[in-house]
Amino acid sequence: MEMLTVKNLGISFGGLRAVDSFNITIEKGELYGLIGPNGAGKTTAFNLLTGVYKPDTGVITLDGKNITGLSTIEINKAGIARTFQNIRLFRALSVLDNVKIGLHNDYKYSTLAGILRLPSYRRIEKQMNEKAMDILKVFDLDKEAHLLSANLPYGKQRKLEIARALATNPKLLLLDEPAAGMNPSETDELMKTITLIRKKYDVTILLIEHDMKLVAGICEKIFVLNFGTELANGLPGDVLNNPEVVKAYLGE
């Protein structure tokens, strides 16, 4: 069953064709890697998928639903959540609150109920706290739940971003360089966590990464982007040994 199909996606900035005829199909439950040299258009592709940019051409279908041209908010509600290359946490809020904001659309009570502290407020806040702590436990962040998120060490900030994205209960999770800035042991741990959440939350994952150990280690399929277009696409063994890919990465 197809979770995401992207057909002929493209966008230009001025004269630059940042992403051009981007086609990808991700099956439900798959873990896909998106790699390519710096400036290849990987993050732009993420921004197109999440509605930060509106594509000039192409159609994006998520789980059978056409989501092309929807706003970021609607796309998140439709089931895509993401993390950011440059970490974007709610820095003045606690770790717990960051995750609870991710739960915003699944656990609802009215503003008035919140102001008047009606029973629905107490009940749903309790459920939110439990759910958020569950997610934090998976990421081994439950002990830091009441810390200010800005005070977390870098590696944990990256993990918290994934936790927050997961809290929105997505069908498809986009991770933008989740291992950036992590040391080898942190990366190993991250690989385990990604494998775990995939099973536990039944989520399809597309990730951008430069760390080839991570990509080769956990990705089932790899898509290589270069100058905004597809260079290679397929199983890791084939793609990573493709001479074109080696050339794009290492030069002639």
Partner 1 sequence: MTKIKELNKSTRNNIITLGIILVFYVLCQILIAAGVMSNLMQGLLVPLCYYSILAVSLNLTVGILGELSLGHAGFMCIGAFTGAFFTRCTEDSIPNVFIRYTIAVLIGAIFAALFGGLIGVVVLRLRGDYLAIVTLAFGEIVKNIINALYIGIDEKGFHISLQDASNLKMAEGGDIIVNGAKGITGTSRDTTFTIAILLLILVYVIIVNLINSRSGRAIMAIRDNRIAAESVGIDITRFKLLAFTISAAMAGVAGVLYSHNISSLVATPKNFGYNMSIMILVFVVLGGVGNIRGSIIAAVILTLLPEYLRFLADYRMLIYAIVLIVMMIFNWNPACITWRKNHSFKDILQSVFKNKKEEAKASGKEEA
Partner 2 sequence: MSFISYLIKGISLGSVYSMIALGYTMVYGIAKMLNFAHGDVIMVGGYVIFIAMSLSGLNPIVGVLLAIILCMVLGITIERVAYKPLRKASSLAVLITAIGVSYLLQNVALLIFGADTKSFSSVITVPALKLAGGALTISGETLVTIPLCLIIMIALNIFIKKSKTGRSMIAVSEDKDASVLMGINVNKTIAITFAIGSALAAVASALLFSSYPSLTSTSGAMPGIKAFVAAVFGGIGSIPGAMIGGILLGVIEILSRAYISSQLADAIVFFILILVLLVKPTGILGKIMHEKV
Chain residues binding partner 2 by CB under 8 A are 43, 47, 52, 84
User: Which residues have C-beta within 8 Å of that of residue 234, sequence separation ≥ 6?
Assistant: 221, 222
Residue 1's binding partner among partner 1, partner 2, none (Cβ under 5 to 8 angstroms by kind) is: none
Residue 96's binding partner among partner 2, partner 1, none (Cβ under 5 to 8 angstroms by kind) is: partner 1
* Cβ atoms within 10 Å of 180's Cβ, excluding its own: 16
Does residue 77 sit in helix, strand or coil?
Answer: helix
**CB nearer partner 1, residue 95 or residue 218:** 95
Q: How far apart are CA 30 and CA 33, in angstroms?
A: 10
Residue 43's binding partner among partner 1, partner 2, none (Cβ under 5 to 8 angstroms by kind) is: partner 2
Ramachandran angles phi, psi of 80, nearest 5°? -110, 130
Residue 93's binding partner among partner 1, partner 2, none (Cβ under 5 to 8 angstroms by kind) is: partner 1
**CB nearer partner 1, residue 201 or residue 249:** 201
Residue 199's binding partner among partner 2, partner 1, none (Cβ under 5 to 8 angstroms by kind) is: none
The footprint of partner 1 (CB under 8 A) covers: 50, 52, 71-73, 76-77, 81-82, 84, 88-94, 96-97, 100-102, 104-105, 107-109, 111, 113-117, 121, 124-125, 128-129, 133, 145-146, 164-165, 167-168
| C-beta separation of 30 from 4 below 8 A | no
Does residue 236 sit in helix, strand or coil?
Answer: helix
Residues paired with 87 in a beta bridge = none
* 65-66 and 57-62 strand pairing: antiparallel
Least Å distance, CB 22 to partner 2, is: 17
**CB nearer partner 2, residue 84 or residue 109:** 84
Q: How far apart are CA 46 and CA 34, in angstroms?
A: 10
